[in-house]
Amino acid sequence: MNICGLLDPAKRGCYHRAVESFKSAVAYFILLAPVVHLIVFHLAPDAPVWQNQSANSAQLSMERRLDAVDKQFLSDADSGNLQLHFVGFNADEFHQGLLLSQFYFRANYALYPHRAFIGRSDRILNTPPQMAAADVIPDENWLKEHDVRTVRTLIQAPNGVYGESRRVN
């Protein structure tokens, strides 16, 4: 039997098998092509996957800084709660407000099940302006009643952010 016999519509069985076989081959190619492309793309030496593993990677640098901040919050809280106070942050400026939020939410994440407070925790804090409005250091009695071990003051300076810790007696 020749190829023409396979494609002859009068011989429907052979014709349909050839068409189905062709459709299957096309489907496999359509599925296989992107997978091969992704594998080759990720094996390239300058691929994003490899860039994040570099010691000079911006992502890795940020992760290291956040890890150091988490450890500082845990050390300050000393198995208790932490009071945060922000100096020099402009909550209405996008980047400073984002940094303020990041410190607050990061502290709560790192300290869980303990807490990080801003102010007297008498309101819900979701946005930088809410955090800035609540940012007062409560009196010593309130701090002791809420098991706050340290007041951590984060100061926004022209050359970056630095912190000071004051233990609660």
Q: What is the pLDDT of residue 107?
A: 95
Q: What is the pLDDT of residue 38?
A: 83
Per-residue model confidence as pLDDT tens for the chain (169 residues): 455 555 555 555 566 677 778 888 888 889 999 898 888 777 777 776 666 666 677 777 778 888 999 999 999 999 999 999 999 999 999 999 999 999 999 999 999 999 999 999 888 899 999 999 999 999 999 999 999 999 999 999 988 888 999 999 7
H or E element that contains 160: strand 160-167
Q: What is the pLDDT of residue 6?
A: 52
Q: What is the pLDDT of residue 161?
A: 87
Q: Compute the distance between CA of residue 35 and CA of residue 32 in angstroms, rounded to an integer.
A: 5
Q: What is the pLDDT of residue 10?
A: 58
H or E element that contains 22: helix 12-43
**Between β-strands 160-167 and 81-87, what pairing exists: parallel, antiparallel or unpaired?**
unpaired
Q: How far is CA 21 from CA 4, 29, 33, 156, in A?
A: 16, 12, 18, 68
Q: What is the pLDDT of residue 167?
A: 93
Q: What is the pLDDT of residue 39?
A: 83
Q: What is the pLDDT of residue 5?
A: 53
> Domain residues of the chain, as ranges?
3-43, 58-167
Structure tokens at 82: 């932490």
121 CA to centre of own chain? 25
Q: What is the pLDDT of residue 66?
A: 87
**Between β-strands 148-157 and 81-87, what pairing exists: parallel, antiparallel or unpaired?**
parallel
Q: How far is CA 49 from CA 27, 52, 118, in A?
A: 29, 6, 38
